[in-house]
Structure 1
Amino acid sequence: MQHDSSDQCGLGIRGVAMAIDSVIWFGLLFVAVYAVAAATGQIETVANGTDADLDGGPASAALALWLCLGVGYHTLSEWRFGRTVGKALVRIRVEREDGTPLSLRSSLVRNLVRLVDWLPFGYGIGILSVLVSGQPRRLGDRLGGTVVVRR
């Protein structure tokens, strides 16, 4: 089933889904920072819990781990279930252009390009690519051969 633009979701509902998924990304940031801090011995016990103050190489490692966890979350969720938690809550899903479920490759391409779509901040390139093309597909959707639809 080939999708036409009437099936596809626009920026608004996709933005709501991403806002929900941002809570998960925020949690993954803590996982990454504390994992690297534990591995490098940079966790401090403070009066109200623990603190991790990373800089230099460990901070870069935590950033890289966080990006891998975030892209991995989207890639695996969309590949296995067609949606992330945010997409499930707003009842949208990702499919291939022909209406079939995503392959691991299409999901990975779509989500690696998410890092470019996000630039310079807040999905600037992704939003611009939607507005310029007149299609509700960000760059990652185009390169991954995917569409986001209501289901």
Structure 2
Amino acid sequence: VEGVWGGAGLSATALTALLSAHTERIHHEDLAPDSRLWGRQVDDERYALIARAMPPHRHTEVVDVHLILRRGPDVLLARRAGTGYADGLLHMPSGHAEDGEDVREAMIREAAEEIGVDLEPEELRVALVMQHRGPGGGARMGWFFVAEHDP
């Protein structure tokens, strides 16, 4: 129970504005100004406000992995094909982490699937991790790994 009693306190509008950024839902009920309820005649604002806290925000970004595969001074680039995104362009071997998959596991799997290279986790060094927006505007997390490979 809150209100503006005798000129002191927060109005329902002010309290709702303060809480709105931190709550999922706010329910406001004005309380009756019945003198039997309050023990005297009232003409100020009295209300009950129930605010439901927002659930914690979890990251939901797509996690993509990219491999900078080096052999001496050379870096492997592959022509994208059949992906529906940037087909025909050159890019490093890359892909997405599957649900429950560690980023290193994802990179090892993608390297095997895309270019037939079998890597061990200790061969991968993290070069860069960055948050970015994908073509559709959705949040993404990009992991870039470096590995030396000389078959």
Length-normalised TM-score, structure 2: 0.19
Which of the two has greater strand per residue? Answer: 2
Length-normalised TM-score, structure 1: 0.19
Which of the two has greater helix per residue? Answer: 1
